[in-house]
Structure 1
Amino acid sequence: MSDLQFASLELKTHSEADLPFLLQLYISVRRTEFAEANWSELQLNSFLSEQFSAQYRYYCQYYSTDRFDIVYYQNQAIGRLFVDCCLDARLDIRIVDISLLPEFRGLGLGTALFRQLLNEAKTLGASVSIHVERDNPAKVLYERLGFTLKTVTDEIYLLMEWRCD
């Protein structure tokens, strides 16, 4: 993908009007996890809708939503990038969530979004962190971009960190 195509990437602050898209995105990301559950389409969508609502409420309660953005590519909503900046002992840009619709994965768009955040972190002298499930294939991308293991959060999640130094 060329730099010109990446120039078509835009981030726009989400609003309540984006919730149907965010639900559709969430379902597209989580659907395969439940493929073996043998639930009807109605049961699966109902369960995932409840999970989405719970996750969204949690994110809004525990993170600053100033940078909860919808990712647009060529004027089409294709994903979300939720970021929270932590100002404790040192500045950390926490990637709360990054998700793309399946048809936009593997095209380098996620990498481009990460590179924008890493450049921002360099300018600020900040680190960038993200929680990832141990078996998530995206972990390979994070490692390729220079993220390393910071802590083992629990039996499922790892906290990975990128530092500019």
Structure 2
Amino acid sequence: MPFLQALYASTRTEELAKLAWDQSAKDAFLKQQFTAQHSYYQAHFPHAEFQLIELTGAPIGRAYLLWDDSHLQIIDIALSPTWRGQGIGSQLLEQWLDRADAQGLSTGLYVESYNRAQTLYRRNGFEVTGEDGVYLKMLRPANQAND
């Protein structure tokens, strides 16, 4: 799990840069938070699909998706910093939305209110349906155009 731990840490870099902790404290915190997140996903989403995202055989990201009869929930997606902003997330989202559309499923996700990925989600038909001060709840209705 070293890749997954490093990937998780990369998603918290900006946040932790603001703290006056030494690196060993940050590393311990990140390890604890990674373990907590992984355990939470396993306990609360036991039927979720885990995807290790690879390019030419090397891991570059991961995603947790929960498909049911009426809805796709994108639980989490993360790409390594080197691969962000290169259209890979857009391609993955397009694939998942095409599959959801083919099955007549709505798609939902949560995104941090400061995360620039929300622009990508809005561009793909997601609308904000709620917020809690940290996260925006976004929903894309089922696309019936393929019927």
For normalisation by structure 2, the TM-score amounts to: 0.92
Native 8 Å contact 1:150 1:161 kept in 2: yes
State the shift of 1:65 in Å: 4.5
Which residue of structure 2 aligns with residue 161 of structure 1? 139
Which residue of structure 2 aligns with residue 139 of structure 1? 118
Matches for 1:99-118 after TM superposition, within 5 Å: 99-118=78-97
Which residue of structure 2 aligns with residue 73 of structure 1? 55
Q: How many residues align?
A: 143
Q: Structure 2: which amino acid aligns with 1:134?
A: S
Native 8 Å contact 2:48 2:67 kept in 1: no
SS of equivalent residue, structure 2 residue 86: coil
1:99-123 residue CA offsets vs partner (Å, 9 max, x unmatched): 0000000100000000000000011
Question: % of aligned pairs identical?
Answer: 35
SS of equivalent residue, structure 1 residue 37: coil
Match of 2:2 among 3, 14, 20: 20
State the shift of 1:150 in Å: 2.1
Match of 2:66 among 81, 84, 87: 84
Does 2:42 correspond to 1:60?
A: yes
Which residue of structure 2 aligns with residue 51 of structure 1? 33
C-alpha distance in structure 2 between counterparts of 1:30 and 1:74, whole Å: 26
C-alpha distance in structure 2 between counterparts of 1:141 and 1:95, whole Å: 14
1:30-58 residue CA offsets vs partner (Å, 9 max, x unmatched): 12211021211111111011011111100
C-alpha distance in structure 2 between counterparts of 1:43 and 1:57, whole Å: 21
C-alpha distance in structure 2 between counterparts of 1:45 and 1:94, whole Å: 30
State the shift of 1:80 in Å: 0.5
Q: Quick one: higher RCO (CA 8 Å, sep 6+), 1 or 2?
A: 1
4+ aligned runs moved over 2 Å, structure 1: none
Native 8 Å contact 1:72 1:78 kept in 2: yes
C-alpha distance in structure 1 between counterparts of 2:68 and 2:36, whole Å: 23
Structure 2: segments with no counterpart, 5+ residues = none
Structure 1: segments with no counterpart, 5+ residues = 1-18
State the shift of 1:62 in Å: 0.4
State the shift of 1:83 in Å: 0.3
Native 8 Å contact 1:64 1:84 kept in 2: no
